[in-house]
Amino acid sequence: MKELNELILPEDVKYSTDHEWVKVSGDTAKIGISDYAQDQLGDIVFVELPGVGDSFAQGDEFGTLESVKAVSELYMPVGGEVTAINAELEDAPELVNNDPYGEGWMIEIKVADASQADALMDKDAYLESLKG
């Protein structure tokens, strides 16, 4: 398990209390889980993602992760319609552990309400929340 000062927490994403990240770019956003979340879960062995065209509200469950330790639900940090999924995770779920903000991204969405991202945590606030 990583110490808090060892976590990779990019400044250009927002974080949810459920440990998902979102990177909004115009009216689209990429979503994945934080380095903290993947570290806590351990080796991820299966990723279940929604289909392209599925729509979710902020806070809705959109998929699951299965690790050697547990099964964990994934929740939407912002609402929107799925425009792409990271199909590589089907054959290589370990990408979530190896590169959670890069090759381990999960879904891309057309954002329903970009202001929802404003209520999420920046890097510093997320780090403070992890300290409890």
Q: Is residue 1 part of a domain?
A: no
Write the pLDDT tens digit of every residue in 31-49.
999 999 999 999 999 999 9
Q: Is residue 88 part of a domain?
A: yes
Q: Is residue 3 part of a domain?
A: no
Q: Is residue 28 part of a domain?
A: yes
* pTM check: above 0.95: yes
CATH number at residue 34: 2.40.50.100
Number of domains composing the chain: 1
What is the rounded average pLDDT for all residues in the chain? 97
- Among all chains, which residue has been given the structure tokens 């199909």? 87
> Is 27 in contact with 84 (CB distance < 8 Å)?
no
pLDDT, residue 132, reads 86
Q: Is residue 57 part of a domain?
A: yes
Domain coverage including residue 35: 10-125
State the burial class of residue 99 (Cβ atoms within 10 Å of its Cβ: 0-12, 13-18, 19+).
middle
pLDDT, residue 96, reads 98
Residues of the chain with pLDDT under 70: none
Q: Is residue 132 part of a domain?
A: no
Q: Is residue 130 part of a domain?
A: no
Which of 11, 41, 15, 35 has its CA nearest to residue 129?
15
Q: Is residue 22 part of a domain?
A: yes
